[in-house]
Chain A
Amino acid sequence: MRINCPYCGERDLGEFVYFGDPVPRPDPSAADAAQRFHDSVYLRDNPAGPHQELWYHAYGCRGWLRVTRDTRTHAMLGSAFASDPA
């Protein structure tokens, strides 16, 4: 598996660290905040197919990337800096 870093180019998997789903932090002042935090910390869609996920380019530019990857084949479908608008 190779990941296309928008800054460094296509690099070997060994340079990256996986974080997982890019779950946004819920609003702590929402009335149902406890439920929302539970859902965002613990529950996952875990799809078989295209999956959005965060990777950290630890042995490269040290940027956080948002990668789309097919979990059935490991095919890379796109990548961008996590800070870019989705």
Chain B
Amino acid sequence: MRYSLFALAREAFRSHRGWQPVWRDAAPRPHYDVIIVGGGGHGLATAYYLAERFGIRNVAVLEKGWIGSGNAGRNTTIIRSNYLLPGNQPFYELSMQLWESLEQQLNYNTMVSQRGVLNLFHSDAQRDAFARRGNAMLLSGADAELLDADDVRRMLPLLDFDNARFPIKGGLLQRRGGTARHDAVVWGYARGASELGVDIVQNCEVTGFVRDGDRVVGVETSRGRIGCGSVGLAVAGSSSRVAKMLGLRLPIESHLIQAFVSEGIKPLIPGVVTFGAGHFYISQSDKGGLVFGGDIDGYNSYAQRGNLPVIEDVCEGGMALMPSIGRVRILRNWAGLLDMSMDGSPIIDRAPIEGVYLNAGWCYGGFKATPASGLCFAHLIANGSSHPVATELRLDRFAAGHLIDEKGRGAQPNLH
């Protein structure tokens, strides 16, 4: 069923009784050409592009809980393409372009809102670093603008411009960046994939793999054995656990990151703002709630809940940047399960086992990557070769020394 003004009017006249379920909750069949493990944004986008771009429609997405119950439904929804390194930036710019046409492509309101992402700088050295990053963005075809303090003041008059320790000297602005509605992205891809014949199977946990010689030919699940031609893993923070079933160890640690939302207030923050002298970022949802977060907690965790020192640190960052929010009450706070890679960049590659493909290492920034990750992963599974913008996102880059370490911090996941 297509959504349109006409459909809305028709349903209004018959008391909205004609709406269909958005996607089909399927029962598993015995065999698929491709099985995608993990019904987050990346798994569903992969299935959608496999069917839509590459004509592979005998596909299942197996999700152990409900689709979107992992990070896809827990993130702070920021989309941007403001990376520095050539291994990353063209990939994220492709993702940005896919976001810009996603609603038309999916015929679904994913609430993509290009309200701008502004990274503040507080010293001359930081300005130089941001100017360099802005130039790298421009070279990749993305947009970038370097603002001075007066430009920032006009956009965000309520920031603390009198901070002697961390003066706001300006910011790097990507106007095309912004936010999208995370749940709608999950449902939009699920709907698109389902309409093209993909089976979305919920409450179906993959518990093992079926091998024929060196090749994986199926998966064991909580809903029985399912055969497949090939299998793509898109389980984000659970990547190491699933890889272990294949006898693989990955360059990944699972960590947690917390996010916060405040009570709704009148419009205060037009876009996304990040504090450059601590780790704090903030935006405002359409309902008026301030959505903000900061650093990862910094220790291995599968708990999906965090601890108090980071909450204190995030709130201190917020107060340093905009003391005006000090009286606003926090409504909710939660955490998700991150696949922190050893260089802070993702992996879209074959696993060293025939028939298995790996999509992992998204750290705290994989929501913005959802469209390009799905497209590139589908490209790899369908064609057996990397998409041109994902050629560096290899699993063997750690052994080869071709790391993609945006921050230059080394093999210490909690520093990325």
Q: In the complex, which residues of chain B have a beta carbon less than 8 angstroms from the beta carbon of A44?
A: 240, 249-253
A71 close to B254 (CB less than 8 A): yes
Task: Decide yes or no whether A41 CB sits under 8 A from chain B.
Answer: yes
Interchain CA distance A51-B301 in the complex, whole Å: 10
Q: In the complex, which residues of chain B have a beta carbon less than 8 angstroms from the beta carbon of A47?
A: 240
B250 close to A46 (CB less than 8 A): yes
Residue from B241, B298, B300, B399 whose CB has the most chain A CB atoms within 10 Å? B300
B412 close to A46 (CB less than 8 A): no
How far does the Cβ of B73 sit from chain A's closest Cβ, in whole Å? 20
Interface segment out of the listed A12-20, A24-32, A77-85: A12-20
Task: Decide yes or no whether A45 CB sits under 8 A from chain B.
Answer: yes
B303 close to A51 (CB less than 8 A): no
Q: In the complex, which residues of chain A have a beta carbon less than 8 angstroms from the beta carbon of B308?
A: 13-14
8 Å CB interface, B274-305 against A? 298-303
Interface size on A, residues (CB 8 A): 23
Task: Decide yes or no whether B414 CB sits under 8 A from chain A.
Answer: yes
Q: In the complex, which residues of chain B have a beta carbon less than 8 angstroms from the beta carbon of A46?
A: 240-241, 249-250, 252-254, 300
Interchain CA distance A1-B298 in the complex, whole Å: 12
Task: Decide yes or no whether B56 CB sits under 8 A from chain A.
Answer: no
Q: In the complex, which residues of chain A have a beta carbon less than 8 angstroms from the beta carbon of B302?
A: 48, 71-72
Q: In the complex, which residues of chain B have a beta carbon less than 8 angstroms from the beta carbon of A14?
A: 308-309, 312
Given contacts A1-B307, A20-B253, A41-B411, contact A71 B342 (CB under 8 A): no
How far does the Cβ of B57 sit from chain A's closest Cβ, in whole Å? 34
How far does the Cβ of B197 sit from chain A's closest Cβ, in whole Å? 34
Interchain CA distance A20-B303 in the complex, whole Å: 17
Task: Decide yes or no whether B398 CB sits under 8 A from chain A.
Answer: yes
Whose C-beta in chain A lies nearest to the C-beta of B342?
Answer: A42
A71 close to B300 (CB less than 8 A): yes
Q: In the complex, which residues of chain B have a beta carbon less than 8 angstroms from the beta carbon of A42?
A: 251, 342, 398-399, 411
Q: In the complex, which residues of chain B have a beta carbon less than 8 angstroms from the beta carbon of A73?
A: 303
Interchain CA distance A8-B100 in the complex, whole Å: 55
Interchain CA distance A30-B261 in the complex, whole Å: 53
Q: In the complex, which residues of chain A have a beta carbon less than 8 angstroms from the beta carbon of B309?
A: 12-14
Task: Decide yes or no whether A43 CB sits under 8 A from chain B.
Answer: yes
Chain A interface mostly helix, strand, loop or mixed? mixed
Q: In the complex, which residues of chain A have a beta carbon less than 8 angstroms from the beta carbon of B303?
A: 71-74
Q: In the complex, which residues of chain A have a beta carbon less than 8 angstroms from the beta carbon of B399?
A: 38, 42
Whose C-beta in chain B lies nearest to the C-beta of A12?
Answer: B309
Task: Decide yes or no whether B38 CB sits under 8 A from chain A.
Answer: no
B301 close to A45 (CB less than 8 A): no
Q: In the complex, which residues of chain A have a beta carbon less than 8 angstroms from the beta carbon of B298?
A: 18
Q: In the complex, which residues of chain B have a beta carbon less than 8 angstroms from the beta carbon of A38?
A: 398-399
Interchain CA distance A38-B254 in the complex, whole Å: 19
Q: In the complex, which residues of chain B have a beta carbon less than 8 angstroms from the beta carbon of A13?
A: 307-309
Task: Decide yes or no whether B413 CB sits under 8 A from chain A.
Answer: yes
A18 close to B250 (CB less than 8 A): no
Interchain CA distance A41-B65 in the complex, whole Å: 33
Interchain CA distance A77-B296 in the complex, whole Å: 23
Residue from A1, A46, A72, A74 whose CB has the most chain B CB atoms within 10 Å? A46
Whose C-beta in chain A lies nearest to the C-beta of B243?
Answer: A46
Interchain CA distance A51-B413 in the complex, whole Å: 16
- Indicate which residue in B249, B312, B413 contacts A43 across the interface (CB closer than 8 Å): B249
Given contacts A13-B309, A43-B250, A43-B251, contact A20 B412 (CB under 8 A): yes
Q: In the complex, which residues of chain A have a beta carbon less than 8 angstroms from the beta carbon of B307?
A: 1, 13, 74
How far does the Cβ of A32 sit from chain B's closest Cβ, in whole Å? 12
Interchain CA distance A69-B307 in the complex, whole Å: 14
How far does the Cβ of B396 sit from chain A's closest Cβ, in whole Å? 10
Q: In the complex, which residues of chain A have a beta carbon less than 8 angstroms from the beta carbon of B414?
A: 18, 20
How far does the Cβ of A61 sit from chain B's closest Cβ, in whole Å? 19
Interchain CA distance A7-B397 in the complex, whole Å: 42
How far does the Cβ of B404 sit from chain A's closest Cβ, in whole Å? 13
Question: Interface residues, chain A, CB within 8 Å of chain B?
Answer: 1, 12-14, 18, 20, 38-39, 41-48, 51, 53, 69, 71-74
Starting from the known contacts A18-B298, A45-B249, 16 additional A-B residue pairs (CB-CB under 8 Å) come to A1-B307, A12-B309, A18-B299, A18-B414, A20-B253, A20-B412, A20-B414, A38-B398, A43-B249, A44-B252, A44-B253, A46-B253, A48-B254, A53-B299, A71-B254, A72-B303
Q: Nearest 8 CB-CB pairs, A to B?
A: A46-B240, A14-B309, A43-B249, A42-B251, A48-B302, A42-B398, A18-B299, A1-B307
16 inter-chain pairs at a CB distance below 8 angstroms, sorted by A residue, are: A12-B309, A13-B309, A20-B412, A38-B399, A42-B251, A42-B399, A44-B251, A45-B240, A46-B240, A46-B250, A46-B254, A48-B241, A53-B300, A71-B300, A72-B302, A74-B307
